[in-house]
Structure 1
Amino acid sequence: MRVCVLHRRLGRQPVQISLGSKLCGVVRLNIYPYADRTTHNETICMPTEITTLCLSEFEPNVCAMQQIKGTSKKYFTNCKQWYHRKICGKPTVITYECCPGYEKIPGEKGCPAALPLVNIYSTLGMVGASTTQMYSDRAQLREEIEGPGSFTFFAPSNKAWESLPTEILDALVSNVNIELLNALHYHMVSRRLTSEELKHGSTFSSMYQDAPVHIHHYSNGIVTVNCARLVKPDQHATNGIVHVVDRVITAISNNMQSIIDIDDDLETLRTAFAAAGLTTMLENEGHYTVFAPTNDAFEKIPRETLNRILGDPIALKDLLNYHILKNMHCAESIVSGTPMETLQGTMLEVGCDGEHMTLNGKAIITKTDQLATNGVIHYIGELLIPDSAKTLLELAESSSVSTATRMFVEAGLTPHLTGSEALTMLAPLNDAFKGNVMRKLMSNHVLKEQLSSKALYHGQELETLGGLKLRVFVYRKNLCIENACIAAHDKVGRYATMFTVDKVITPPMGNIMDVLKADDRFITLVNAIQTAGMTELLNQQKVFTFFAPTNDAFNELPQDERNRLMREFCSTTQLLFIHILN
């Protein structure tokens, strides 16, 4: 079965999905951005298996591989392990090449020809590990890996040897090559192990003093040995199997606490772990991941905040446990952002951006894969403070509630927000201040023309951006707009003027009767107005000042007097007019 894919051109630049030429046993699939406007169309047909990466039925013994664009980093891919065209946020190019042990035959589909098996030494030269082959010769290991036996060789790629620091490489090849032989033997196990047999969390005795090598087989298909990723697994040989790995591995002898104890860059962390009583855990068996803040990371935290946390055993333990994952995760196991549970109980998003490992989306990891017998340590340049170790004010400093936080501080509530009181804050999101209610409120604080307070007069009406009319009130000692009075001299800008007012302006809401009816404090007054027949007067759109007696004010009157007022029309009317100024 074949599927037809539209090939589009936009001007002279092709925007295409195409099946490239089959050269040297490789089928390349290039993927380019889609175009909306089409000036020229072609149709290219390709097998449906290619669109799903399952080529085995169409072309035998063909394996898919994803390469991160712009790098030499490659990942073997099958139908179960497919990284959705992106690895660590970067686009990938999909290539198809002959599976290990097969090659193309001109004119035939796929890779039908099985290559003859050769010994491990010869296999090294065929799978991109010729430097390992050369050092095997120099260390007098060649005879062993050419001869009879059954071995698994985790062979460093040529690039792995190139990336090894010069001083380490020099040390390996000195001392009559004994160190080099020991190093190579540590990469070997005296039995045949396919990648399927490399189970997550398993260990195998190496051929160097039975020192263990540590295997992790992650759910995303990545397999590591001592955190070195298998980049070409399952290269079969007559006397074993070769797995090409992306780095030179070394024997592990120290637990996490020992590594922290001897590293001066982790002195503050060492003190913190001791104060929190966590050193025993770091000495015991386990498979932890520790994101270790350096001394510089601690120094970035305000001294007051750091001292508060260091002096609070509960907050300190939460802080440190927030830096520890329950499972071991090598840097190479991460291909996308994934939430992972910490010992503190909340989640950290561990991800990557290109070739950099990230935490909560930030590239703060300065050194990766410091291996211990009970886990792995990644050094970080910033301290991670969980919510459970923060004060109320620190919680509220999130950018999503910054407006409310500023208002709380300006209201003089800082002592409550930084203290040890058991409180609950209801913090509106910034969007709440941008919504219709707040927008309407604030738009009624902007007038439609540039004014001078010197030109305002009593009874003047000012129109706002919200469409309301605000009234000006001139008094002997105050100049007010509705309920707010001007509190400072005008600030005159290039196009606008600012009046500083002492209150949030509350626009008039209905007439006097509307206001009184909406407030339960004036139930008795409303009844009196209705008894006096003054409802129509107070519903009129006129300007009044009403000194409104509350229910409590009426209750202060003697019972007989109150009853008389509520019965007699004239008495009630006379009383109410005393409270009204025209």
Structure 2
Amino acid sequence: MKHLTLLALALTLIATICLGAKSPYQAVLTHSRIRGRPHGPNVCAMHNIQGTDKKYFTNLQFTTDMYTDRANLKEEIDGPGSVTFFAPSNTAWSALPHEILDALVSNVNIELLNALHYHMVDRRLTSEDLKHGSSFTSMYQDFDVHIHHYPNGIVTVNCARLIKTDQHATNGIVHVVDRVITAISNNVHSFIDTDDDLETLRTALAAAGMTTMLESEGQYTLFAPTNEAFEKIPPDTLNRILGDPVALRDLLNYHILKHMQCAESIVTGMPMETMQGTVLEVGCDGDHMTLNGKAIITKTDQLGTNGVIHYINELLIPDSAKTLLELMEGSTVTKAQQMFVDTGLGPLLSGSEALTLLAPQDDAFKGSMTMDGEMKKLMNNHLLKTQLSSKSLYHGQELDTLGGLKLRVFVYRNNLCIENACIAAHDKMGRFASMLTVDKVLTPPTGTIMDVLKADDRFSLLTGALQTAGMTELMNQQKLLTVFAPTNDAFNTIPRPELNRLLRKSTTGPRHPSAQTTDYFPGALISQADVYWVKPMCSGADPQQRKELGSNLLTKIS
């Protein structure tokens, strides 16, 4: 703490650096009234131009006198050579607690010199030299200062943002930063190991065998859940994850980014890949850094030699550490979730069996549902016997359900469907099972096409025509067919004489799939690709009638 206090004092003394012209030294030379000296504390002083109210910002006059007097640095600065200062702004100093400022003023010893030296690099570094991931040896016991230059243009040193760069002097450069920087000596894990607020995290990291990783070289960002964050999780869920090495490692890796991300570098929301493989949405809301849209970060930019720690007060649980029932929480399938629980299938969805849940969206359910045996059977037919992703599905594939049925997969240009329901959202892959959200309640087929037609009074004329034409056997085959089925209303749009003539010809017309004719009952032509379609071109009909038939005759059923 003493070291930190004196460090803050050292930088406080630099804080009075003014923010003036872009290149002060060049301005000095241009006006010739002031000539910069090769060395010394006043080479870039604040000078009035005679006869005007203009001043030229240079570097360190009053502040230099103070810190050189107190830390005995005057001789060193007056000597030959060049240095780079990372100097906190006035606002940065005013943000320091009063007790630290008081301690800085009252203490004069070697620690002040050390603190000031840590903010100096003994060579000239322009902003172009500050490359992402680079480190430079400071003038304090060879401790490094760490530079990060982000894609959005923000540059940080030890996570302090550079707010004005390249303030030139004859004996060096000043870069103004927005906070006091401190020396870094411990790695990320050492930081965790000494903070009682991270005790549960420390235990979890040890159980997952991840301690060594956070002690090794790297550039990590750890969103560190506090003890309070772990306590918010239901005990059963937390104990399950802590007792499962795979789920625990996924959970912890979900809190770690593969690169160092200082809070000052975040100006807008952006997805960032975690070590678990999925992404976190890291953004900001006013003065607060956010994760997945939530302002749950309570402390930022706790630096280690191999990364940075941000404290969070909520535990982040990735899908890969969740059960099926947990995957359904907080999503658009809450009605389906409640139905599985009400039908007694909750324990199955909370277990470790490899399954795939086809979860209908909430708006797929109409009216109230009766929780009886048939409903449980329906829910079982939304559960597949193995864990799948939508990427593994292919056209014509058959999927076995826990209810004993086989569901067919249909792959179209813009849709992936299972029976009558299509995939409506991205997959969620859980610890043992996965969830595919679908847009409808599944109604698996229980009969042939002929059975479906017979059960619907709207198709009585079509059913009779198929029977008369000898196509009943075809409609009962266990093959993949598509039928464009004219309803009774569609038939009744045909003039009665023409309809009677067609129905009579249906007994003598061709029945083979390869038949080439248009003068027969408008039923289904059978192609070798198992696609069935209606030929609504009636013999003797005028063009207008045929057009009306083409637009009005057909109704698709599935």
**TM-score relative to the length of structure 2:** 0.58
Query: Could you tell me which of 224, 234, 238 is aligned with 2:170?
Result: 238
1:405 is aligned to 2:349 = no
Q: In structure 1, what is the equivalent of residue 285 of structure 2?
A: 353
Mapping of residues 219-238 of structure 1, within 5 Å? 219-238=151-170
Give the Cα separation in 1 of the matches to 2:456 and 2:201: 61
Identity %: 70
More moved, 187-196 vs 130-139: 130-139
Residues 244 and 136 of structure 1, relative CA distance in 2, 3 Å threshold: farther
Give the Cα separation in 2 of the matches to 1:165 and 1:190: 30
More moved, 131-140 vs 374-383: 131-140
Give the Cα separation in 1 of the matches to 2:344 and 2:62: 69
More moved, 115-124 vs 153-162: 115-124
Q: Is the 8 A contact 2:59 2:174 kept in 1?
A: no
Give the Cα separation in 1 of the matches to 2:207 and 2:464: 64
- Per-residue CA shift, 1:59-96, capped at 9, x if unaligned? xxxxxxxxxxxxxxxxxxxxxxxxxxxxxxxxxxxxx9
Query: Could you tell me which of 161, 176, 193 is aligned with 2:93?
Result: 161
Secondary structure in structure 2 of the residue aligned to 1:270: helix
More moved, 115-124 vs 308-317: 115-124
Q: Is the 8 A contact 1:150 1:190 kept in 2?
A: yes
Mapping of residues 122-133 of structure 1, within 5 Å? 122=42, 123=44, 126=57, 133=64
1:100 is aligned to 2:47 = no
Q: In structure 2, what is the equivalent of residue 267 of structure 1?
A: 199
Give the Cα separation in 1 of the matches to 2:223 and 2:114: 31
Q: Is the 8 A contact 1:128 1:157 kept in 2?
A: no
Residues 361 and 325 of structure 1, relative CA distance in 2, 3 Å threshold: same
Residues 257 and 104 of structure 1, relative CA distance in 2, 3 Å threshold: closer
Q: In structure 2, what is the equivalent of residue 217 of structure 1?
A: 149
Mapping of residues 145-156 of structure 1, within 5 Å? 145-156=77-88
1:305 is aligned to 2:237 = yes
- Per-residue CA shift, 1:110-136, capped at 9, x if unaligned? xx9798657684448637988854445
Q: Is the 8 A contact 1:131 1:161 kept in 2?
A: no
Deviation at 1:104, TM superposition (A): 9.8
1:277 is aligned to 2:200 = no
Deviation at 1:374, TM superposition (A): 0.7
1:375 is aligned to 2:298 = no
Deviation at 1:171, TM superposition (A): 4.2
For 1:399, give the aligned amino acid.
S
Residues 182 and 415 of structure 1, relative CA distance in 2, 3 Å threshold: same
Give the Cα separation in 2 of the matches to 1:295 and 1:396: 26
Give the Cα separation in 2 of the matches to 1:311 and 1:423: 21
Secondary structure in structure 2 of the residue aligned to 1:176: coil
Secondary structure in structure 1 of the residue aligned to 2:335: helix
- Per-residue CA shift, 1:14-67, capped at 9, x if unaligned? xxxxxxxxxxxxxxxxxxxxxxxxxxxxxxxxxxxxxxxxxxxxxxxxxxxxxx
Query: Could you tell me which of 185, 188, 192 is aligned with 1:256?
Result: 188
Mapping of residues 321-360 of structure 1, within 5 Å? 321-360=253-292
Residues 402 and 208 of structure 1, relative CA distance in 2, 3 Å threshold: same
Residues 278 and 129 of structure 1, relative CA distance in 2, 3 Å threshold: farther
Q: Is the 8 A contact 2:22 2:167 kept in 1?
A: no
Query: Could you tell me which of 175, 179, 195 is aligned with 2:111?
Result: 179
1:316 is aligned to 2:239 = no
For 1:290, give the aligned amino acid.
L
Give the Cα separation in 1 of the matches to 2:228 and 2:23: 47
Secondary structure in structure 2 of the residue aligned to 1:145: helix
Give the Cα separation in 2 of the matches to 1:141 and 1:306: 56
Mapping of residues 18-37 of structure 1, within 5 Å? none
Give the Cα separation in 1 of the matches to 2:259 and 2:81: 35
Give the Cα separation in 1 of the matches to 2:122 and 2:59: 22
For 1:292, give the aligned amino acid.
A
For 1:190, give the aligned amino acid.
D
Give the Cα separation in 1 of the matches to 2:141 and 2:358: 62
For 1:225, give the aligned amino acid.
V
Query: Could you tell me which of 186, 190, 201 is aligned with 2:133?
Result: 201
1:389 is aligned to 2:344 = no
Residues 194 and 339 of structure 1, relative CA distance in 2, 3 Å threshold: same
Unaligned stretches of 5+ residues in structure 2 = 1-18, 47-56, 369-454, 477-487, 489-558
Give the Cα separation in 2 of the matches to 1:405 and 1:414: 8
Aligned length: 357
Unaligned stretches of 5+ residues in structure 1 = 1-95, 106-111, 444-507, 528-535, 537-582
Give the Cα separation in 2 of the matches to 1:130 and 1:294: 45
- Per-residue CA shift, 1:370-407, capped at 9, x if unaligned? 10011111100100000000100111113322232223
Secondary structure in structure 1 of the residue aligned to 2:360: coil
Deviation at 1:217, TM superposition (A): 1.3
1:366 is aligned to 2:289 = no
Give the Cα separation in 2 of the matches to 1:293 and 1:181: 37
Give the Cα separation in 2 of the matches to 1:130 and 1:161: 18
Q: In structure 1, what is the equivalent of residue 179 of structure 2?
A: 247
Q: Is the 8 A contact 2:122 2:139 kept in 1?
A: yes
Deviation at 1:156, TM superposition (A): 1.3
Q: Is the 8 A contact 1:124 1:242 kept in 2?
A: no
Give the Cα separation in 2 of the matches to 1:377 and 1:131: 36
Give the Cα separation in 1 of the matches to 2:273 and 2:244: 23
Give the Cα separation in 2 of the matches to 1:97 and 1:132: 16
Give the Cα separation in 1 of the matches to 2:60 and 2:331: 51
Residues 324 and 128 of structure 1, relative CA distance in 2, 3 Å threshold: farther
For 1:319, give the aligned amino acid.
L
Secondary structure in structure 2 of the residue aligned to 1:426: strand
Residues 172 and 97 of structure 1, relative CA distance in 2, 3 Å threshold: closer
Deviation at 1:174, TM superposition (A): 4.2
Q: Is the 8 A contact 1:154 1:187 kept in 2?
A: yes
Q: Is the 8 A contact 1:172 1:183 kept in 2?
A: no
Secondary structure in structure 2 of the residue aligned to 1:419: coil
Residues 132 and 321 of structure 1, relative CA distance in 2, 3 Å threshold: farther
Give the Cα separation in 2 of the matches to 1:515 and 1:120: 103
**TM-score relative to the length of structure 1:** 0.55
> CA RMSD, aligned part only?
3.7
For 1:100, give the aligned amino acid.
S
Q: Which has the higher strand share?
A: 1
For 2:24, give the aligned amino acid.
G
Q: Is the 8 A contact 2:187 2:305 kept in 1?
A: yes
Residues 400 and 291 of structure 1, relative CA distance in 2, 3 Å threshold: same
Residues 513 and 227 of structure 1, relative CA distance in 2, 3 Å threshold: same
